[in-house]
Structure 1
Amino acid sequence: MIDALEQAEAAVAACSDAATWAASEHDLVAALDAAHRLEQRVAAVKLALVREVDGRGTARRQGASCTPVWLRERLRLTIPAARRLVELAATLDNGPAEIRQALADGAISVEQARVIGDTVATVHAAADTSAAGKAVDVLLGWAGQFDATLLRRMGARILDHVAPEVADAAAEAALRAQEARAARDRQVTVSEQSDGRLRLSGILDTEAAAVLRAAIDPLTTPAGPDDTRSPGQRRHDALADICRLALRTGDLPENGGDPTQIVVTTNYDSLTRQLGAGALDTGLHLTPDTVRRPACDATVLPAVLDSSSQPLDLGRQRRLITGPLRRALILRDRGCAFPGCDRPPRWCDAHHIHHWADGGPTTLTNAVLLCGHHHRHLHHTDWNVRITADGHPEFIPPTWLDPTQIPRRNHYHRRT
C-alpha cells in the first residue's frame, strides 16, 4: 500500500507542474473531472486508514486523549474536522459496502457519502434491511445529479420511494435523527486573533439556540435614539453583559479550587507608578482603562512579576497547589503543558513532579499544569517531566515512542 501511495503521490506531484494554460477547454474540464475523482478515491483510502487507527487505539497509546486529538497533531486538522473524519470512517465501515465502493470509485463525494450513510441508517432503523438496500440504490442514483445539500433534503422523504407503508413513522424518526445530528455537531470555537481579539463561531442545537435568543434579545434592543451601534455590535455587547451577570451571581463552578474570577497581571514597575496595561490569565492584554472597568465589579487578583517575568508576590506557600501558587502556575504554563495539548487552565490539575508523598515540595519548580487526561497519562506511562533552566516544563518521551528521547514542549500556549 505504501509503495502504491508513494507512486500516486509522485504522479500527482508531476501534474502540479503541468502548464494548465496550454490545455484545451475540453482537456481542462476532463482533467478537472479526473482530479475530483482521484480526490474521492484517496479520501476512501484515508477513511479506511483512519478507521483502522481508531480501532487499534493508536491515539491513546501515543499519548493523545482520543483519535480526533491525535489526528489534529498528526495531520494538522481542526478538532471538528478530525472528529467528522473519525465519525464518517465509522459510518462507512458499519454501513453498506456499496457506499464505500462508490466513494472508492470516485462516483460520489465525501459529503455525499456522509449524507447517504446517515440517511440509510435512518431508513434501516425505521423500516428493514430490504428498504435500506433500496434506499442505497436510489440515493446513489440521485448522487449523480444532486449535491450533498439537495441529496439530504430529498433523502428526508426517501421512504416515500422505498417503503411508503412506513413513511409517516419514518418522518418522525428522521426528525429524531436530525436532532441527534444537531446534538452531535454542536460546538463553539473561540479563536484568538493576531491583535488579541477573539473570533467566536459555532453551531448551536435547537434548545441552546432558544436559550441564547431568550437571554440575548432583550439586551440587543437599541438603548435609545442616540444608540449608533450596529446590530452585530449590540449582540456583542449583550453577550458580554450576560457573562458579567453570570460572574456576579457567584454560582459558577470553581476553577481549580478558586472561585470564578478575573486575573490581571502587570509588572512591578507599572504597579509602583500607576495601574498600567494588564494581561488576563488567558494571555489577552488590556489597556489601563479596560483594566479599571472590570475592577469596579469583579474580583481582580493582581499578580506582580519581576524583571524576568517570574512571579514575585503571590502570597504564602501552601501544601496544596491552590490559591496564589496555582495562579503562579497558570501564569507560567498558560494551560496543559503536555506537548500538543491545548486545554486551557480551567480544565487542568496541578501535578507534583516529585510527588508530595515522596517528599516533594509544593513549589512552582516542582509543579506542572496538566489536563485530566494527561495527568493520568503521566502517572501511568513512562513519560517524564522536568523544569528546565528557563523555568518552563519539558517532557521526555518513553523509548518505545522515541528511542532518542528528545525533550518536547507545548507550543500551543503563548510564552513571554
Structure 2
Amino acid sequence: MAVALYEPTQEASSFLNEVQSALQDFAQHFRDGCQLLSPRELAETTTAVEELSKTVEQLQISAAHALDQQKVATTGESDHRFSWADPASLEPDGVEPGKRTEFRDTADYLRERLKISRSEARRRLRLGESTQPATLITGEQAPPKLPMLGAALAGSHISGRAATLIRDAVERVRPTARAEDLQAMEQMLTRQAAEADTDILVEVIKCWEAGLDPDGREPSDEFLRARQGVFIRGRRNGLHRIEIAATDEQYEYLVTVMNTSTNPRLGRTFAPEDGNEDAGQAAAMDSDGVVQPAPAEPTRAQKLLAGLVDACRMALAADKLPATGGHRPQVMVTIDYEELKKQVGGTGQAVFGGLTSAGTVRRIACDADLIPVVLGGRGEVLDVGRAQRLFTPAMRRALVARDGGCAFPGCTIPAPWTEAHHIIWWEHGGTTSTDNGCLLCSFHHHLIHQGHWQVESRGGIPWFIPPPWTDPERKPLRNRYRQACVSQPAGSPPGAGP
C-alpha cells in the first residue's frame, strides 16, 4: 500500500492511519520473508526500523508537549482551536466555565488516554519541556532550554531514551554548574549519543557529573557505620555468602586484586607451587587412565573470587602481612601542564573504578607510588619513551594515561587487558612513540591489522576511519568513553576535533 506525502491541509490522524496500515502490511511481509533476505539487506532493514522508531519517539514527545501546552487535561478535548490561549474565556484556574475533567494533570490524562504508565508520561513531558519551544500566553514561541538536544531529537539523530538521560543529567548538575559548562555538557553528550550506544553514554554522563562536582558528596560517619563493612550472610547450598559495602578507595584495592585472575591474556593467576605446568592436564585423567572432559570455563564471578582468595593465600604464605594488606596501589595522576604549575586537584582516574573524587585520590596517594604524566595544551601526552621496536613501560604508562583503555570507538576494555599498537606500522616505517601508538584490545588489534580500518594520530589523539561499507562517508571516529573532559576554558566544546 502506497502512502502519499503528508500535506499541511491533510488531516493528521488520517495520514497516520494510512502510515500505520502500510507498516502493518510491511511487517507481515517482513516476518514471512526476513529469513530469505541477504545479511546486508537484513542489516539495512533493521537499521531503517531503528531510525523509524526514533522519529516515532520524537512525535510522542512533541504530542505530549503540545497537549500540556493546550492544557487538554483540564480544559478537555474540544473542537475549538486555541481557546485555551484566551484568558478571558477561562476561569482563574484555567478551566472553561462549567467544564472540568477528571484528570489532575497532563501526566494523568496521558496515562488514561494512551494506556501508558504515569512515569512514562512524566518522562515525555519533562523531555518535551526541555527540548521543545514553549508557547507563551501571547502566542509567541520561547526558545527551548536545551536547543542542541532538541535539534538532535527533532532530526531523529538520537533516541528518546538517550535524550532523557542527557536531559536528566543536565538538570541534576544545573544548580551547581556554570552556564558555559552546561552548554558544553549538552553539546558533548548530544554528540556522544549520536555516535555511540546508551551504555557508553551512561558512563560519559558519570564523568561529566563527577567533573562538575570533583569532590562529590562524601558519605557521613553515620551512613558508613550503618552500611559500610563485610557482612557474613551465612551458608547456603554449600556456599558461604559474603556481602561487601566499600568506599571508592576500598573498592579500588579490592577490584585491582580480584582482576588479576580475569585478565584474558593470562592463562592462570599464579603458577602451580611445584612448577609443573601439566598439573592441570593430569587432573583431567582418572585412576584408570581415561581422559575426562575438560571442565567448563569459570565465570567472571568465579574468577574474581579466585583472584581475591589467591591474594589472601599469598599474603598468609608470606608470614607477614604488610600494613596495607598487600602491594601498594599504583596511582597514575594525569594533569594538564598549566594545572601542574599550580597544584594537583580535580578528579582522578582509577584503573578499574573510573573517576574518583579528589579526596579519595589524595588518601590513596598517601601510601602509593605516584606516576606523574604531563599533558600538553591540546591534551596530547608528552613523549616519555625512546625509539625502539617495542613500547617501553614509560610509553605504555603514557598511553594508559591518554587512552584509559582500548582506543577503538565504543570499546570499554580496560587498560590492563590491552596491547600497544603502532598507528603507522613498524614495518611501514612507523616510529615507537606515544604519538604513533594507541592501546587496543586483542579483538580490535586483529581487526585493525586486517587493513580495512585506518588509524590516524591527530594532535596526539588516535582517530579511526571506518571502511566504506561501514560508513560510506568514512567520518573519523574517536573513543569518547573515557574522554568526557570538562576542565576546559569556557566556550571551547569538549573533545573538540573533526
Check whether TM > 0.5.
no
Structure with higher helix content: 1
Structure 2 length-normalised TM: 0.37
The structure showing larger relative contact order (alpha-carbon pairs under 8 Å, at least 6 residues apart) is: 2
